[in-house]
C-alpha cells in the first residue's frame, strides 16, 4: 500500500536549490525509465523536433542545460552536434550515458565563457530553477549573437477530454507509478512543481529582457507539452 505524502509548502530560495538537487540525486538511477512511462515514450519525438528547431549546421557547439541523464545530449549527438551537458545534480550526470562532456553547475551561474555556444537546449526544467530570470541571463551570456535556444516544458491542455485525461494521468497515475518504482516523495512533488512555472507571456517577457528576440511558443500535441524557441539578439 502506498502511503499518502503530505503536501508541505513548496520550498523557495536556497532551500529550493538544495531540495531540487537532493531530489534528482535520489531518482537518478530510474529517472529515464519513469520518464518514458510518464510520457508514453512521446518525449523522444518532442526532443528530436526541439533539436531540429535550433536550425544549426552540423558540428555546432550546443549546451544542454539541466541535462539530467542525457536525453537531449544524446539527441544532439545523433543530429551531429557537439554537446556539452550541465546539471545541478551530480547524481543525474553520473547516471547518464553517452555524455562525454558533463559539468555540474547551477544554471544561474554557468562556468563557461561568454559567447561560446551556438545553441542551448533545456528539457522540462524551467520550474526547477530557483532564479529563472538569472538563468535566462546566463543562457544569453554564453550564447553567441544569433545563436538559438530551444526549450521544452510541461503544459496542460486547456479544455475537453484531453485536459481531464491529462490531469488524471499527471496528478494521479504519475505519482502512483513513481511511488512504485522510484522515490515516492519526488514523484508527488513533480505535479506540484508546476506551481513554480510562470504563465507563457511572462516567460516570453523574461526571455526578451535577457536578450532573446523572435521568441516563438507552441503547444505540443494539444498542450501535453510546450516549446519555446528564441534567438540571441546581436
Q: Is residue 105 in a domain? A: yes
- Residue 119 makes CB contacts below 8 A (sequence gap 6+) with 54, 56, 60, 61, 62, 63, 81, 143, 147, 148, 149, 150
Q: Is residue 4 in a domain? A: no
Q: Is residue 8 in a domain? A: no
Q: For 155-198, what is each residue's pLDDT tens digit?
A: 877 777 776 776 666 676 666 666 666 666 777 787 788 889 99
Nearest residue to 114 via CA among 134, 137, 133, 142 = 142
Q: Is residue 91 in a domain? A: yes
Q: Residue 4 corresponds to which cell in the numbers above? A: 499518502
Q: Which string of DSSP letters, residue by residue, matches 145-157?
A: EEEEEEEEEE---
**How high is the pLDDT of residue 4?**
42
What is the sign, positive or negative, of the torsion defined by CA atoms of 145, 118, 228, 174?
negative
Q: What does the alpha-carbon distance between residue 20 and residue 114 come to, in Å, rounded to a whole number? A: 27
- Residue pLDDT tens, the chain, 234 long: 333 444 578 999 999 999 999 999 988 988 887 777 777 778 899 999 999 999 999 999 999 999 999 999 999 999 999 999 999 999 999 999 899 999 999 999 999 999 999 999 999 999 999 999 999 999 999 999 999 999 999 887 777 777 677 666 667 666 666 666 666 677 778 778 888 999 999 999 999 999 999 999 999 887 888 999 999 998
pLDDT > 70: percent of the chain: 88
- The CATH number of the domain holding residue 208 is 3.40.50.150
**How high is the pLDDT of residue 2?**
36
- Residue 199 makes CB contacts below 8 A (sequence gap 6+) with none
Number of structural domains found in the chain? 1
Q: Is residue 214 in a domain? A: yes
**How high is the pLDDT of residue 1?**
34
| Residue 118 structural domain | 13-232
Q: For 46-58, what is each residue's pLDDT tens digit?
A: 999 999 999 999 9
Q: Is residue 224 in a domain? A: yes
pTM of the shown model: 0.89
Q: What does the alpha-carbon distance between residue 110 and residue 129 come to, in Å, rounded to a whole number? A: 13
Reduce the DSSP state of residue 123 to 3 states and report it: strand
Reduce the DSSP state of residue 202 to 3 states and report it: helix
Q: Is residue 5 in a domain? A: no
**How high is the pLDDT of residue 65?**
98
Amino acid at each position: 500500500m502506498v502511503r499518502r505524502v503530505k503536501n508541505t509548502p513548496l520550498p523557495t530560495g536556497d532551500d529550493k536549490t538544495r531540495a531540487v538537487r537532493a531530489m534528482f540525486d535520489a531518482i537518478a538511477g530510474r529517472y529515464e525509465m519513469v520518464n518514458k512511462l510518464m510520457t508514453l515514450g512521446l518525449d523522444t519525438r518532442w526532443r528530436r523536433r526541439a533539436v531540429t528547431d535550433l536550425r544549426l549546421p552540423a558540428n555546432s557547439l550546443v549546451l544542454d542545460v539541466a541535462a539530467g541523464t542525457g536525453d537531449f545530449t544524446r539527441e544532439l549527438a545523433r543530429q551531429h552536434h557537439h554537446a556539452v551537458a550541465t546539471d545541478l545534480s551530480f547524481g543525474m550526470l553520473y547516471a547518464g550515458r553517452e555524455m562525454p562532456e558533463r559539468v555540474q553547475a547551477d544554471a544561474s551561474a554557468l562556468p563557461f565563457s561568454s559567447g561560446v555556444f551556438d545553441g542551448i537546449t533545456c528539457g522540462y526544467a524551467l520550474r526547477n530553477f530557483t532564479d529563472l530570470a538569472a538563468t535566462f541571463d546566463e543562457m544569453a551570456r554564453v550564447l553567441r549573437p544569433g545563436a538559438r535556444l530551444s526549450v521544452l516544458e510541461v503544459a496542460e491542455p486547456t479544455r475537453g477530454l484531453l485536459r481531464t485525461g491529462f490531469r488524471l494521468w499527471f496528478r494521479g497515475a504519475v505519482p502512483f507509478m513513481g511511488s512504485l518504482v522510484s522515490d515516492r516523495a519526488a514523484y508527488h512533488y513533480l505535479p506540484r512543481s508546476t506551481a513554480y512555472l510562470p504563465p507563457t507571456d511572462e516567460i516570453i517577457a523574461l526571455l526578451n529582457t535577457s536578450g532573446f528576440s523572435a521568441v516563438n511558443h507552441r503547444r505540443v500535441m494539444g498542450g501535453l507539452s510546450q516549446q519555446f524557441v528564441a534567438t540571441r539578439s546581436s
